[in-house]
Amino acid sequence: MASKDEILAGLAEIVNEETGLETDAVQLDKSFTEDLDIDSISMMTIVVNAEEKFDVTIPDEEVKNLKTVEDAVNFIDNAQD
């Protein structure tokens, strides 16, 4: 099971691969759409890659609730249990 720091680092790598953003730009308080400028298509790719990396399932109806990086980290952390 990954720690929250490991989840954040993993998400940062996934976002970097998808968007080219620097990994240190991906911080807990950042909004995916407003701060990181990630569109819905890129977000779905990030979700699929995160599901594979962390062996969790993120239902489509939950994706809209993942507004910030912290939302995603917390969701993945809880889904690992």
pLDDT by position in tens, the chain (length 81) = 999 999 999 999 999 999 999 999 999 999 999 999 999 999 999 999 999 999 999 999 999 999 999 999 999 999 997
Q: CA-CA distances (angstroms) from residue 14 to 9, 54, 56, 58?
A: 9, 11, 15, 15
- pLDDT value at position 29? 98
What torsion, rounded to 10 degrees, do the Cα atoms 24, 19, 15, 21 define? 0
pLDDT of 52 reads 98
Of the candidates 5, 35, 39, 81, the residue annotated as catalytic is 39
DSSP type of residue 2: -
pLDDT at position 81 is: 76
Whole-model pTM: value is: 0.95
Please give the single-letter amino acid code of residue 24: D
- Asked: is 4-79 a CATH 1.10.1200.10 domain? The reply is yes
Catalytic status, residue 39: yes
